Amino acid sequence: MNIHNHIQHGKGLHTVQGNGEAFEVLLGLFFALIIVSYIIGALVTSRRYKKWPLYRSFFWIIGVFCVASVCIGSLANLAQWDFKAHMLTHLLLGMLAPLLFVLAAPMTLLLRILKVTSARRLSVILKRRYFRFIMDPIVVSILNIGGLWILYITELFTMMHHNSLLHFLIHVHVFLAGYFFTLSMIYIEPTPHRTSFVYRASVLLIALTFHCILSKYIYAHPPIGVPTVDAEIGGMLMYYGGDAIDIVIIFILCYQWYKVVRPRTAVTINKFKQSL
């Protein structure tokens, strides 16, 4: 028995809710609003301050399209009964989209377009202990990678196809966990609660290891209701696709680390030469 038998023959979340076309239209308008809002914010801040980088807007638009493809359209529908498509949506929603959103720096944009008093209030909120806790690399790694382990090695994966609300909540968790995980590893945005490069690199290495182990576990032990062939292909997608995105995160982290260390190294060498 495969996942196709657990749901209504490929009907997506929007169809199960009984008003598929209207639901897709509403979601489509919502995603369009997100894109337009960001572009307007970029135009406003470009007039007031230094021009907002065009590549950040590009990252934002592509990131929104990644999330939209998981929620509406043929891929979202196919992912309801095809595990290979489901794993592709996992990569888009939980890894690629979060990385693109982090690179788009939406919080920085928001702080630039807000009034000074509002921006200061938001900064105070971001400095609270809750954000220190939720932005700790270990915490977000547990929420991110640990959540995936729970999803795929328990009956939760099957249950999400029976319950529209659970399906929605899992998608929200996958995205937010992936976003905060990426945000805690590479500092693109203003980050009041910073951790050391050694700490972040160590946690990142452990998290990526458990992500790879999970992909191999899925390959060898298919989730409930998933055919062996689909699980093998899905596991490989998770392994190699995840590695491709992780390489980008590793590169950015190492580059930021290099930029911080390099000036100190140059000063040390100059002092050493002067002492000779």
pLDDT at 161 (0 to 100): 82
Q: Could you tell me how far CA 131 lies from the centroid of its own chain?
A: 17
189 DSSP assignment: S
Taking alpha carbons only, the member of 54, 41, 171, 51 closest to residue 106 is: 41
Q: Rg of the chain over CA atoms, in angstroms? A: 21
pLDDT at 53 (0 to 100): 93
pLDDT at 123 (0 to 100): 85
The C-alpha atoms of residue 90 and residue 86 are separated, in whole angstroms, by: 6
Taking alpha carbons only, the member of 109, 82, 93 closest to residue 7 is: 82
Element (H, E) at 130: helix 129-134
Tokens of 46: 């470009």
| DSSP reduced 3-state for 143 | helix
pLDDT at 271 (0 to 100): 57
- pLDDT tens string for the chain (276 positions)? 455 454 444 444 444 444 567 778 888 999 999 999 999 999 999 888 889 999 999 999 999 999 999 998 889 889 888 999 999 999 999 999 999 999 999 999 998 888 888 888 888 888 888 888 888 999 999 999 999 999 999 999 989 888 888 999 999 999 999 999 999 999 998 888 889 999 999 999 999 999 999 999 999 999 988 999 999 999 999 999 999 999 999 999 999 999 888 766 555 556 545 544
pLDDT at 11 (0 to 100): 42
Q: How many CA atoms lie within 13 Å of 256's alpha carbon, on the beta-carbon side?
A: 16
pLDDT at 272 (0 to 100): 45
The C-alpha atoms of residue 208 and residue 25 are separated, in whole angstroms, by: 37
Across 126-259, the runs of DSSP E, i.e. the strands, are none
Task: List the domain boundaries for the chain.
Answer: 3-275
Q: Which distant-in-sequence residues (6+ apart) come within 8 Å of 99 by Cβ?
A: 63, 182, 245, 248, 249
pLDDT at 252 (0 to 100): 96
Say what the pTM is. Answer: 0.86
Q: Is 184 exposed, middle or buried (0-12, 13-18, 19+ CB in 10 A)?
A: buried
The C-alpha atoms of residue 23 and residue 65 are separated, in whole angstroms, by: 17
pLDDT at 183 (0 to 100): 94
The C-alpha atoms of residue 51 and residue 45 are separated, in whole angstroms, by: 7
